[in-house]
Structure 1
Amino acid sequence: MEYKVIVSPLANNDIEKITDFYEAITIEIVVRFLEELEEAYKVLSINPHFQIKYKSYRSIPLKVFPFILIFEIDEYNKEIKILSCFHTSRSTKKYPK
């Protein structure tokens, strides 16, 4: 059974900031970034049990872009909640708590 992917308001805000930044460079990068995000969502919906990063938080890295998605799994409702889209150079102390 596939899981439903839900993107939190905080993660949406992160993604919006990222796309705004890339849009200042070129729209093609934005399109590639969004395609890669969609691919990560597909992977998570099928196989969400990636490594645990902190407590119940898990993460999946994007393939090309230097970001990871921080998420939690709700097994009961078969949902994945994306909590943050996090740049890999940022301190892990800034992970969602």
Structure 2
Amino acid sequence: MTYRLIIRPQAELDIQDAFEWYEAQTLGLGSEFIRAVDACLSAIGRNPLAYQIIYKQARQALIRRFPYRILYVFDQEIITVVACFHSKRDPKSWQARL
């Protein structure tokens, strides 16, 4: 089954900000972060129910190698990415996006 993936603009900004931060630390690290995000999104797309619900209907998937998580909502055939957050950030800041 193929699911439709929607990345909200706020989540795209989260990913862009993290990319720029990692790229500023070490040239090429931002690109590695983007590849890790893509791999995580692909895994979510293959099996959106594999990840636990952590708040209301939001699920989280951890990004391999980086301390970030993708937060998304799965409703029937649509996966909506609401945030890409550093694991140490206050969860209340993304919960408001739901």
Deviation digits for residues 3-30 of structure 1, max 9, x if unmatched?
Answer: 1221110000111111111121223111
Counterpart of 1:11 in structure 2 is: 11
Residue number in structure 2 paired with 1:26: 26
How high is the TM-score relative to the length of structure 2?
0.90
Which structure 1 segments of 5+ residues have no match? none
For residues 2 and 62 of structure 2, what CA distance do their matches in structure 1 show? 20
Match of 1:58 in 2: 59
Residue identity matched to 1:13: L
Aligned position for 1:82: 81
Between the aligned partners of 2:44 and 2:28, the Cα distance in structure 1 is 24
Amino acid at match of 2:6: I
Unaligned runs of 5+ in 2: none
CA distance in 1, matches of 2:37, 2:5: 12
Q: TM-score, normalised by structure 1?
A: 0.91
After TM superposition, the structure 1 stretch with the greater mean CA deviation from structure 2, 22-31 or 57-66, is 22-31
